[in-house]
Amino acid sequence: MSISVRLDDELVNQARSAAKAEFRTVQGQLEFWAKVGRAALDNPDLPADFIAESLMAMSEPRSEATPFVPSSKS
């Protein structure tokens, strides 16, 4: 579904810059920020960086995931 939304020019410019750095479209960057914001409101005890990194990790293909291997204590 697609809808038109008016956004502040400064927000769009910030999204454009961040999108280039993250290899996303401007729309994809705004959607990502919205997901992070929503998750942050739902989980106020978690740092925003942790939420963002978790969402990025969850979107990676499983075939590219690195398995977790706990370190052994000596």
* Residues in contact with 26: Cβ distance below 8 Å, sequence separation at least 6, in sequence order: 12, 15, 16, 19
Could you give phi then psi for residue 54, rounded to 5 degrees?
-65, -45
Domain assignment present for 1: no
Secondary structure class of 71 (helix, strand, coil):
coil
Domain assignment present for 25: yes
pLDDT in tens, 10-47: 999 999 999 999 899 999 999 999 999 999 999 999 99
Domain assignment present for 38: yes
* Total of domains in the chain: 1
Domain assignment present for 45: yes
Q: Does the pLDDT of residue 68 top 70, yes or no? A: yes
Model pLDDT, residue 74: 60
Q: How many CB atoms lie within 10 A of CB 40?
A: 16
Domain assignment present for 27: yes
pTM: 0.72
Domain assignment present for 46: yes
How far apart, in Å, do the first and last CA atoms of the chain sit? 55
Q: Which domain holds residue 39?
A: 9-59
